A and B are shown apart, each in its own frame.
Chain A
Amino acid sequence: MIQLLANPQRFMDFSRWFTPIVAVIAAGLLISGTAIAFTVPEDYQQGDTVRLLFLHPQLATTGMFAYGCLAVSAFFGFVFRHSLADAAARAAAPIGAAFTFLFLVTGSLWGKPMWGTWWEWDGRLTSALVLFLIFLAYMALQASIDDEAKAARASNILAMVGAINLPIIKFSVDWWNTLHQRASISLTGESGLADVYLLPFFLTMAGYVALFGALWLVRIRAEVWRRKAGALQVQLAGKA
């Protein structure tokens, strides 16, 4: 599969009809999941804010999934020096950053009615914050080196260093959070989820991941076109 799609032309032919399919699947899942989310009963403790359960955890999962895609693409780009993998890594970063940022915002909005504060240094929020910072570092590095091939290679290295570090950061933040044995504040644990919530929870979960997939494909296609346009411009300048 990867071998087959490594050829940019074949990838463009494939993604041309595959991207709309993913987008339609994402729209279907999100519309049905969100519609059901508004019909489920309110939580006896959280009231209406329980509906954030069908947005907030999904954003975190998608953000982390995006980083996974970025790191795997960076690995292929680094090892096989493949330009399509570089494009895929580069395309994933802003989408992942956006999902992680929205996770932080919805976490903050949920925190106000639930915890009484806009921000709580809880393990998940804090490690998502660090993930967001790593996305920003990746994009800053990518943007600040003029030579595109060098920028791609440097940011691929950073993406892999980040991938090694993220589990350690997650662990250290969790450790830091339990150091003082504060009253454990946690959102309704997914494990204790009532049955009525399960269906919309997983529908929206799949929906946001599919949404990321569709946006990612669109951005990779745009990246390939951008490079092609750059190459044509160089050709044209050579002729003139």
Chain B
Amino acid sequence: MGSLAALFRRELSLAWGRGGGALLALSFYAGIATLLTFGMGAAPEPMKAVATGTSWVALALAALLSLERLFERDYEDGALDLLSLGGPALESVCFVKCFAQWLSTAAPLALAAPVAAVAMRADPSLVIPTFAAALVGGLGFSFTGGIGAALSLGSKRGGVLIAVIVLPLFAPPVIFGAGGLAALSEGLPWESAFAFLGAYCMAAVALGPFAMAAAVRNALS
């Protein structure tokens, strides 16, 4: 347990150090949300209708951005070899890495999501649901995204390949997250959407590390 805690601290300090991590992801998020708004046009009514959905899509894209460094850095400098030889199972190592990634980038992004949504004229009553859904959805993005990051280790294509692998897998969390918020704002029943979102993300947390560990072992072999 001690070694996993040490790994967790290492991941967090690496994510926060050298101007990376949350700040970078937040700047990217702000940029992409602004561009999406420019793309939509300034008419208030259409913008209001898609505000929460757009803030969610930007979230998925921002989550993608940090995936490339999740395993690649440790793969290049050999730290991943050491981690695979150490005491804790590779599955728990992958879990800790994804969890730290969620805490260092997805959680700050979840704080930014309601701000972006309200700036796009979403109803202020949606602030807390948007934050909660983004926080839970971020878990799904980190743990399904980690599979793509682990699979593309050792390929020459890097980031684009991760995006091609991972974006189809992001469909359910985006549908349930953005759909639940849309239903909530229209006064339709919304509970089932958030239940499905939670179920998908929990399943990703439970099963993702096994796929990641298998992929990492393959890349290291």
Q: In the complex, are the beta carbons of A161 and B152 less than 8 A apart?
A: no
Give the CA-CA distance A154 to B154 in the complex, in Å: 10
Q: In the complex, are the beta carbons of A144 and B218 less than 8 A apart?
A: no
Question: Does chain B have a CB within 8 A of A229?
Answer: no
Question: Does chain A have a CB within 8 A of B202?
Answer: no
Q: In the complex, are the beta carbons of B168 and A133 less than 8 A apart?
A: yes
Main SS class of interface, A = helix
Main SS class of interface, B = helix
Question: Does chain A have a CB within 8 A of B200?
Answer: yes
Can you name the residue of chain B whose Cβ is closest to the Cβ of A131?
Answer: B168
Interface residues on B, range: 20 to 34
Give the CA-CA distance A99 to B55 in the complex, in Å: 35
Question: Does chain A have a CB within 8 A of B50?
Answer: no
Q: In the complex, are the beta carbons of B218 and A150 less than 8 A apart?
A: yes
Q: In the complex, are the beta carbons of B200 and A141 less than 8 A apart?
A: no
Q: In the complex, are the beta carbons of B175 and A173 less than 8 A apart?
A: yes
For this complex, 14 residue pairs linking A to B, each with C-beta atoms less than 8 Å apart, are: A78-B214, A133-B167, A136-B164, A137-B165, A144-B155, A147-B154, A150-B221, A158-B147, A162-B168, A169-B172, A171-B172, A175-B176, A176-B175, A179-B182
Known interface pairs A137-B164, A172-B196; 12 further A-B residue pairs with C-beta atoms within 8 A, sorted by A's residue number: A78-B214, A130-B168, A134-B168, A144-B155, A144-B161, A150-B218, A150-B219, A154-B151, A155-B151, A160-B211, A161-B211, A168-B200
Q: A residues near B, CB below 8 A? A: 78, 130, 133-134, 136-137, 140-141, 144-147, 150, 153-155, 157-158, 160-162, 164-165, 168-169, 171-173, 175-176, 179
